[in-house]
Amino acid sequence: MTILACVVTVLFSSAIGVLLLHRAYGPVAAGVIVVLSQGLSLVATAERYVSEIADPHYVDESTDAFRYIEGARARWEADVPPLDGITVGDGTNNMYVVGQWFFTVFGDDKAAVFLAGSTVGLVGLWLSALAIRIVVPDAPVVLGFLATAAPSVAYWSSSFGKDSLTFLSVGMCLWSVAAMTTRRRVGALPVLVFMVGDALMLLIRIDIGVVLLVALAVAITGVRDGSVVRFRRVVLGVVFVGAPVGLLVASALHLDDPWGVVSSFSGTADRTAIGGSSVGERQGSSLAGVISGSVTALLRPLPWEFGIGGLVSCVDTIAVLVLIWAIVRALRGRFTWGYPEAFCVVFGAFFAIAVFAELTQIGNVGLLVRLRSLIVPVLLMIIAALWSCTDPREVEEPVRASGRRGGVPR
Using CA atoms, how far residue 81 sits from 57, 75, 78, 125, in Å, is 32, 9, 9, 31
Local structure of 336: helix, strand or coil = coil
- pLDDT value of position 269: 46
User: Could you say which DSSP state residue 143 is in?
Assistant: H
Local structure of 320: helix, strand or coil = helix
- pLDDT value of position 392: 47
Q: Are 360 and 296 in contact (CB under 8 A)?
A: yes
pTM for this prediction: 0.79
Q: Which amino acid is at 289?
A: G
| Residue partners of 216: CB distance under 8 A and separation at least 6 | 173, 177, 194, 347
- Residue ranges of the domains in the chain? 1-204, 206-410
| Residue partners of 273: CB distance under 8 A and separation at least 6 | 281, 282, 363, 364
CA gap 133, 90 in Å, rounded: 34
- pLDDT value of position 278: 44
For every one of its 410 residues, what pLDDT tens digit does the chain have, with 9 covering 90 and above? 578 888 888 999 999 999 999 999 999 999 999 999 999 999 989 988 888 777 656 555 557 788 888 888 999 998 888 878 777 767 788 889 999 999 999 888 888 999 999 999 999 999 999 999 998 888 889 999 989 988 888 888 888 888 899 999 999 999 999 988 876 666 678 888 998 999 899 888 888 888 898 888 888 877 765 544 554 455 555 555 555 555 555 555 555 555 555 555 455 544 444 444 444 555 555 555 556 566 666 655 555 555 555 556 667 667 777 777 777 676 665 556 667 778 888 899 889 888 877 777 665 566 677 777 888 899 889 888 887 765 544 444 433 333 433 333 33
